[in-house]
Chain A
Amino acid sequence: MLSDGAFYVLSVLAVASGGLVFVFDSMARATFSLLTSLLCVAGVVILLGLDYLGIVIVLMMTIEMAIMAVFMIMYMMNPAGLMPMTMVHNAKGAGLICGVLFALLVAGIFLAPWPAIKGRPPEDVTMDLGLSLMGPQMLTMMTLGMALFATIVSSVVLATRRGRYDRLGDDLDAEAADDPVRGGVGR
């Protein structure tokens, strides 16, 4: 009963604050409205008995949205997201696409032949979810994780403006690195 109520409250809040993202005219408000929506989703995940996943969603999304606020404001054209701006482009087309997609998803929820509950829920829901999602594909997932990480590192290396030759000279034999900002480890 209590969890039913919490589910409905959190769901309505999640959808409402998700919708507000497109209504607000401030980058900061839109970002934190999105964060509110995601925190409500985390609450729903916790209600499903997946405490760990729910709390990790809170942790990851809070940090991610806080950092995203900085980047969004920094990279916006026309004084850097500090001024009021609209959050939508191509409003009619986007509205149409989103409306059709939402209708399709809702229809899917009601039309899908959901399996009936057999037996009781497992003791550790998170463990079971993890096994059924990743169990047989653990090697694939580990490889994929390493590949993604390598991609991040190499794209940073490719994108960085100053490499080691700029810092330590052509023969990499400079005594101290030539950095625009001094300080840090032993300099």
Chain B
Amino acid sequence: MAESASLWSILALPLVLGAFAVGAATVDARLGPGSVPGPGREVLRLLVQQRRVTNAADQLLLRLGVTLLPVAAVLAAVVVPFGFTALSDLPDGIVWFNAMEALAWAAVWLAGWGPNSALSMIGGYRFLAQGLAYEIPHMLAITTAALGAESLRVGAVVDAQSGLWFAVWMPVAFVIYLASALAMAFWGPFDQPVGSDVAGGAAAELSGVDRILFLGGRWLLLTVAAAAAVPLFLGGGHGPLLPGWAWTLIKTAAVLALLLWVRRRLPVLRMDRYMEVAWVALTPLAIVQALVVALVVLGR
């Protein structure tokens, strides 16, 4: 059973999440070709950079968008348990997680709209198209995990996996979740919203602190998506010998490593193509997976 955490963990949550994101970004930079600057140097460079100002920009919406992205990522992490303790194990935690990631849709669109620049706006619009493509199979995948535990509480989903992990008997939902984790953070094969073919898309005009918040928020989002795969499909803190928190760390790091690897192995997908795959293939597959899980649950 997940316990509720003490007050100081409100401060600890963004720090742990941030540390994980910086770690992943460092590893990714090391793997990169040539001399890609690590996150530390990049942040310092951006901090002293002069802010780029575009003509007739909507500053309010731009700031709102770039700030909302990391905030949404941290808020989504509130229900993700560290070991067996979540900051707040809401009775509807899975819906909360989904709602917070939906805020990222709004955030990316706002950041793309704000600078009054065509390429940025194309990036923002691309993310909405991507959201429409990935969200339905994604929702069905996380609903399947909730269905297996017969609860929307993330703690209950972890409890239900003290024996068999959900990833083992819901493989389709797990794979769809991993794909949508990449899409949610518009990263790797799904980075068209900030793609190089539109000169950086939604991030094209961002500079200085705005850019740190936006790209940092994207790393946080990727970390949260990887971290949420652990309680939803990989047994949460359950595991032999080691304590729960250690297993959470190991499993989250493993999922993040997989996502980093996928980025280097797969080309960027065109959204119209992925849209068709998502709606014609992934959605029916996810529904069949949910049906199988529902029948198993009914038969128990």
Contact = CB atoms under 8 A, between A and B. Distances in A.
B5 interface: no
B276 interface: yes
Closest 6 CB pairs of A and B: A184-B276, A59-B99, A183-B273, A58-B99, A62-B102, A66-B105
Given A26-B58, A69-B109, 9 more contacts: A29-B58, A51-B90, A52-B95, A58-B99, A58-B102, A59-B95, A62-B99, A62-B103, A63-B135
Interface size class of B (residues with CB under 8 A): 20 to 34
B280 A55 contact: no
Contacts of B281: 185
Given A52-B91, A62-B99, A62-B106, A70 B277 contact: no
Interface string B241-278: 00000000000000000000000000000101101110
A65 interface: yes
Chain A interface, >50% SS class: helix
Nearest to A182: B273
Interface of A: 26, 28-29, 32, 35, 51-52, 55-56, 58-59, 62-63, 65-67, 69-70, 181, 183-185
Contact of B272 (A32, A67, A181): A181
Contacts of B61: 28-29, 32
Given A29-B58, A29-B60, A52-B92, A66 B128 contact: yes
B281 to A, nearest CB: 6
Given A28-B61, A70-B125, A184 B272 contact: yes
A185 B155 CA distance: 37
Contacts of A56: 95, 99
29 contacts: A28-B61, A28-B110, A29-B58, A32-B110, A52-B92, A52-B152, A55-B95, A56-B99, A58-B99, A58-B102, A59-B99, A59-B102, A62-B105, A66-B105, A66-B128, A66-B131, A67-B128, A67-B132, A69-B113, A70-B109, A70-B128, A183-B272, A183-B273, A184-B272, A184-B273, A184-B276, A184-B280, A185-B276, A185-B281
Interface in B17-72: 58, 60-61, 64
Contacts of B280: 184-185
B165 to A, nearest CB: 26
A164 to B, nearest CB: 14
